[in-house]
Structure 1
Amino acid sequence: MLFQFKKIVVLLVLTLVFSSCEKDDSISPVVTPEVVAEFKANLSELNLFSGNLNQLIITEKAFEYNINTTLFSDYAHKQRIIALPTGTSLQFNGDGLPIFPDNTVIAKTFFYNSDERDLSLGKTIIETRILIKINDNWETGNYVWNETQTDAILDTEGSTVPITWIDTDGNPNPTSYKIPSSTDCFTCHSNSDRILPIGPKLRSMNFNINGVNQLEQFISNQQLSGVASSSSVRSLPNWEDTSLSLETRARAYMDVNCAHCHIPGGTCADQSTLNLAFETTLEDSNILDQIALIDYRTSFYLEGISMPFIGTSMRHTEGLDLVQSYLNTLN
């Protein structure tokens, strides 16, 4: 009788265990939310990041991209990401910008490490710039991070943020970082009165990162279609690569820092004949006709006069010295 009772107890326990397991199996897996392709009041509402927002952990619904020669932004670091609608990809369209599907979201977050000698001391995130393609047109929006670094608020007015960061030599660098207004965004991103991305051209993304070609990775991940190999795409050189010629490095620097305005259709096209796209020949670029003016306007920083015209609050010593060294060879 006692044996029979124990047997019943064991069966009851096993029934409860299996029942519990069945309940666990029925729990739905966590679903990563889709990226929201519209301008919400708070950056967190766009679902571009997972976990704590200030960790900048990219959602599984997006991917990071980098460019070989970067735009100078007062020495700020940048995280660049693209979020494509599910089931879509970038479409090959030559060496320049690929064709982005509607509802693509491009985000670029600007931040400073507190101390470049010790990254464990954290960072200060300033802003996240957003481009969204809606009905075949790109729209811009800036999100300014709050002091507690918990979220960023949509802002169209622009502002100046004082920040001090320590470089690798241990020197403090006080900076008056300028967050652009909507007008500023249009100035740089406009071509023939249409807003376009600046950075994610295929030729700018065609380089190796940790031994792996970035475009090959995009092709393998089905994030880029219409091209079989990165060998079909030209590469914009890295201006910091000292193994390259002075002309190559200077022209690459001018391409990414100046050509979005100084090309046909750019904001400065009505005021200047310069065409600073890297592929443009020296003769067709009109650099030779404006050596003195370029040299003058890159030799110092004064808002509204020096170049780049907007987007910085200081002279980029390394890059602009390179440009001036190149100009000296043309005299």
Structure 2
Amino acid sequence: MAQGGRRIVALMLALLALASCRPQPQVHFFAEGQPQRLSQWQLLTLQDQRLRLNPGVLPYDLNSPLFSDYALKLRTVWMPQGQAAQYRENETFEFPVGTIISKTFYYALPQGARWDGGLVARQAPEDGGLQDETLDLRRVRLIETRLLVRREQGWLALPYVWNDEQNDAVLQRAGALLPLQLIDAQGQREEVAYQVPDQNQCAGCHATDNRSRQIAPIGPKARHLNRDFDYADGRENQLLRWSRSGYLDGAPEAGQAPRAADWTDTHASLDDRARAYLDINCGHCHSPTGPALTSGMSLDAATRDRLKLGFCKQPIAAGKGTGGRLYGIVPGDADASILAFRMDSDDPAVMMPELGRSVIHREGVALIRQWIEQQQGACDS
């Protein structure tokens, strides 16, 4: 090899060595202000056509996730060094100032297809899209990333929408409406008016205590997190990983902590699956303290009173939302139940939940209908 060629090879090797030793960006917590670009927080990085997590950013998942127009979600949490959340058995953990919780919404691309401006797959890929704590951007389309930031004054919600180049997301305080098309395995397509919530709408769901109206996280509760997760270095229970990472104080052994069912797990009881689905999708509003408390209907995990759950319960306010039905849940008769009727609607004046979806969750409706059909009792007794 000529001397000039050897010099070029040596230079390339030196550059590669420098690149491999280059420190990864450190997360930047903003104690005030509203940064315009997601990249300013330095939670995520793009490398080799993959979306990666920066040091200290811990991914997690929920036993039963909230339905959002079939979008997949990458959830992460980050806390300042030396800070930890305090364990609570039934409520959201108490997070320290400086915490950043993120949720990135994305869709898988149809098998063998490239992004054409709106067509996405209804079904998740077999691996869920996440491998070794990274997302392959050749196989998925990033839609939005929502941040919940814990400041001295309380939590702040920030919605960021990913750009066409898929290299950053921009703050959209007023939200956005994104036209998409879902395609299923049979080739059937469905139009989706995907809504990125504005900051007020974020507060509408996350203000889970109607007395204080302060926003708070919904998902990070023991019963939702008590499950295994496939981390880059192996599979481990999330409560254990959070504790070992210094992000959680006071947690018991996983076997002693509450655990919600995975609503898709057919090995679990139908009652556990249905209650877990209603808890995560409805219980943050329909609870004794939530925004829907005036309805008198509570669908959170703690509620056991059948009347409060909606069995043979007449609605507080009649109208289009009842579909002419008399009771929230009629045991053994899903067709006569207001709950099933509102879940099976995409009419904004009827549908429940009111926010967070524009299409009907077919599988979720089927689950709740099956659960209602197996209930015993009669409303005329």
Aligned mates of 1:109, 1:63 — CA distance in 2: 13
Deviation at 1:241, TM superposition (A): 1.0
Pairing 1:58-137 to 2, within 5 Å after superposition: 58-115=53-110, 121-135=138-152, 137=154
Using structure 1 for the length normalisation, give the TM-score: 0.85
Aligned mates of 2:279, 2:270 — CA distance in 1: 14
Q: Which structure: larger Rg?
A: 1
Instruction: Determine whether 1:205 maps to 2:225.
Output: yes
Pairing 1:20-59 to 2, within 5 Å after superposition: 30=23, 32-38=25-31, 39-52=34-47, 55-59=50-54
Instruction: Determine whether 1:312 maps to 2:354.
Output: no
Q: Show CA shifts across 1:29-88 (max 9, x none).
A: 736323323530111101111244973211112110110101000111100000101111
Distance change >3 Å, CA 183–CA 144, structure 1 → 2:
same
Q: Contact conserved, 2:83 with 2:96, CA < 8 A, in 1?
A: yes
Pairing 1:143-158 to 2, within 5 Å after superposition: 143-158=160-175
Deviation at 1:225, TM superposition (A): 1.5
Quick check: 191-200 or 53-62, which moved more? 53-62
Q: Which runs of 5 or more residues in structure 1 are unaligned? A: 1-23
Quick check: 126-135 or 149-158, which moved more? 149-158
Deviation at 1:168, TM superposition (A): 4.0
Q: Show CA shifts across 1:200-251 (max 9, x none).
A: 1121010123552121122222221112422231001111111222221111
Aligned mates of 1:123, 1:293 — CA distance in 2: 37
Other-structure match for 2:214: 194
Greater helix proportion? 1
Q: Contact conserved, 1:157 with 1:180, CA < 8 A, in 2?
A: yes
Q: What SS is found at the alignment partner of 1:227? A: coil
Q: Contact conserved, 1:129 with 1:140, CA < 8 A, in 2?
A: yes
Aligned mates of 2:302, 2:147 — CA distance in 1: 28
Distance change >3 Å, CA 172–CA 122, structure 1 → 2:
farther
Other-structure match for 2:176: 159
Aligned mates of 1:303, 1:64 — CA distance in 2: 33
Using structure 2 for the length normalisation, give the TM-score: 0.74
Pairing 1:231-242 to 2, within 5 Å after superposition: 231-242=255-266
Aligned mates of 2:253, 2:156 — CA distance in 1: 31
Distance change >3 Å, CA 219–CA 69, structure 1 → 2:
same
Q: What SS is found at the alignment partner of 1:195? A: coil
Other-structure match for 1:275: 298
Aligned length: 306
Q: What SS is found at the alignment partner of 2:339? A: helix
Q: What SS is found at the alignment partner of 2:93? A: coil
Percent of aligned positions with the same letter in both sequences?
A: 30
Measured on the aligned residues, the alpha-carbon RMSD in Å equals 2.5
Q: Show CA shifts across 1:176-209 (max 9, x none).
A: 2111111211111112211011111121010123
Quick check: 169-178 or 227-236, which moved more? 169-178
Aligned mates of 1:178, 1:226 — CA distance in 2: 38
Deviation at 1:160, TM superposition (A): 1.3
Quick check: 197-206 or 119-128, which moved more? 119-128
Aligned mates of 2:285, 2:53 — CA distance in 1: 31
Other-structure match for 1:7: none
Other-structure match for 2:316: none
Other-structure match for 1:16: none
Q: Show CA shifts across 1:111-154 (max 9, x none).
A: 11111577774222111111011115111110011111121111
Other-structure match for 1:5: none
Aligned mates of 1:53, 1:109 — CA distance in 2: 19
Q: What SS is found at the alignment partner of 2:293? A: coil
Q: Contact conserved, 2:156 with 2:215, CA < 8 A, in 1?
A: yes
